[in-house]
Structure 1
Amino acid sequence: MIPPGSRYVALGSSFAAGPGINPIVDRPAGRSGNNYAHLVAAELGLELTDVTYSGATTAHVLDTQQDNAPPQLDALTPDTRLVTITVGGNDLDYIGTFIRGSFLNTVAKPASIFGRRVANRIRARVSYLKEDAEYAAVADALTTVVERTRERAPEARVLLVDYLTLVGPSTRPRLDVPLNEEQLPSVAMMADGLAAAFAKAAAATGADLVTASAASRDHAIGSPTPWTTAYSRGLFSPLTGFVPYHPNAAGMRAVADLVVETLRA
């Protein structure tokens, strides 16, 4: 267990930052004061430095500035004792593909030639992302993130925390998930490939793996108790309390519990 008062650094993209979950404590980053890192730090009495940032890729964690924010690894110091990492989805444009596909399907009639062309483009894009090389690149990048983390914080316990499941057994095409029966499985396969990349990186580095993806399968969109948001045709904003296809407050609480459980184990 990490002793109370220890330094904890949270790295990652929007699935760690928590856009849309009040209170938002950093607007450019879309970072919530109730994301899983804040909940873990509060429960365990840790000193948190949260540099998660919506839209971040593994490059933004490693060595690339994002907006005015330096690379996230710059936050690590030798006295860091816990690091959580949730990133990689934006390398694959995972959520971006899901959101664009949903938007285009709502504005294009499926029976029209335009609608069919849009659907075909979406399917082609998703199929491209299912190439093994795409997921291998994410696994390699995550492996590098862990290795660089240990160089900067050699005494830290490192947890790879993968992504909550969006498309599960209860997810069906409907107004708040406007993808068709052919597109939904492709999104699910992308999620499986991303989860496998996390598992591969954990195996390569010996980092702890928190499988939020597996724990949330029965809490996907369309379930009685979803841990993620669905889609809406209305305006959405990380500052107004709704961002489609992202963790909700219950999902962040669930991930925090999984992290605490892993640390206590």
Structure 2
Amino acid sequence: MTGRYVALGSSMAAGPGIRPRASGAPLAAGRSAGNYAHLVARQLSHDLVDVTFSGATTANVLTERQHGAPPQVSALTGAEDLVTVTIGGNDVGYVPYLVAAGLPAWVRSVPVVGRAVRGQLDVAARDAALAAVGESLRTVGRELRRRAPTARVLFVDYLTLVPPAGTAEVPFTEEQLHTAQRISDTLEQLTAAAAADTGCELVRAGDAGRAHHPWSDAPWTTRFGLPLPGRPAPLHPNAAGMRAVADLIIGQLA
């Protein structure tokens, strides 16, 4: 089976820190040769164009350059057999909220840095971003369908980052966990709605990963902590998670 496959999205698709790094990828992209797109392409013998980029928002997919890279949809030619996209979390500040929540409380009083941390923890700001991202996701779906009319277009939602309430060793308060879970659930629902409304398909990575949160016995994502060279980025998929998502995609395509 051979076809053109274009992978789009943010760090949740790029796989920062998962070795080896994708050949020729910009360093800022954090793009791994072990991300789900590469695994799918190898197994299905697809010709992969991977333009996933850490930090990407829906605007970077659609219209805005990122670190010199053109908008991700510019990679589409209309000859695609498969398109995948994981996007939206950076629009709503999902991982930045978790990072800010995991920092010691005293950091919030540090000049400049503290203001940024408090901004990420602003629940009203997160809610406003969630209210806006649904239409942005639908715009992504419509544009992918327009540019790749004969492809199977798959929205792939986010693997689970938030553990159940009461989980030991978690650096978040119960209130912060509740807010993070609400962000996660809403983003998942909005992604599903965008896929349904625009004639795209949905891969439910979040649903499959519920029992594989970072504090589980078999995690597919990493815990909060300091970024370390050669290790998957904190609060992001690990190699097992990328393999699991690739298997979900391959199963759906079959």
2:152 is equivalent to residue 157 of structure 1? yes
Shift of 1:171: 6.5
Q: Give the Cα separation in 2 of the matches to 1:104 and 1:127.
A: 21
Q: Give the Cα separation in 1 of the matches to 2:11 and 2:32.
A: 10
Which aligned pairs between 1:60-75 and structure 2 lie closer than 5 A? 60-75=60-75
Aligned to 1:202: 195
Shift of 1:122: 7.0
2:205 is equivalent to residue 212 of structure 1? yes
Moved >6 Å (runs of 4+): none
Aligned to 1:22: 19
So what's the TM-score if we normalise by structure 2?
Answer: 0.90
The SS at the match of 1:32 is coil
Q: Give the Cα separation in 1 of the matches to 2:75 and 2:223.
A: 33
Aligned to 1:247: 237
Q: Give the Cα separation in 1 of the matches to 2:107 and 2:142.
A: 45
Aligned amino acid, residue 181 of structure 1: E
Aligned to 2:134: 139
C-alpha distance 138-173 of structure 1, shift in aligned 2 (>3 A)? farther
The SS at the match of 2:81 is strand
Q: Give the Cα separation in 2 of the matches to 1:17 and 1:79.
A: 22
Q: Give the Cα separation in 1 of the matches to 2:249 and 2:140.
A: 19
Confirm or deny: 8 A CA contact 1:170 1:223 kept in the other structure.
no
2:122 is equivalent to residue 125 of structure 1? yes
Confirm or deny: 8 A CA contact 1:173 1:181 kept in the other structure.
no
**Cα displacement string for residues 113-134 of structure 1 (whole angstroms, at most 9, x for unaligned residues):** xxxx99x947951343135xx3
**Cα displacement string for residues 142-186 of structure 1 (whole angstroms, at most 9, x for unaligned residues):** 111111112221111100000001113377252xx3111221111
Aligned amino acid, residue 10 of structure 1: A
Gaps (5+ residues) in structure 1?
none
Confirm or deny: 8 A CA contact 1:7 1:48 kept in the other structure.
yes
The SS at the match of 2:28 is coil
Q: Give the Cα separation in 1 of the matches to 2:215 and 2:185.
A: 18
Gaps (5+ residues) in structure 2?
none
Confirm or deny: 8 A CA contact 2:14 2:53 kept in the other structure.
yes
Shift of 1:140: 1.1
C-alpha distance 215-108 of structure 1, shift in aligned 2 (>3 A)? same
The SS at the match of 2:39 is helix
C-alpha distance 202-245 of structure 1, shift in aligned 2 (>3 A)? same
So what's the TM-score if we normalise by structure 1?
Answer: 0.86
- Identity over aligned pairs, percent: 49
Aligned length: 246
**Cα displacement string for residues 203-228 of structure 1 (whole angstroms, at most 9, x for unaligned residues):** 21121111111110111121110110
Shift of 1:104: 3.5
Aligned to 2:47: 47
Q: Give the Cα separation in 2 of the matches to 1:225 and 1:122.
A: 33
The SS at the match of 1:60 is helix
RMSD: 2.2
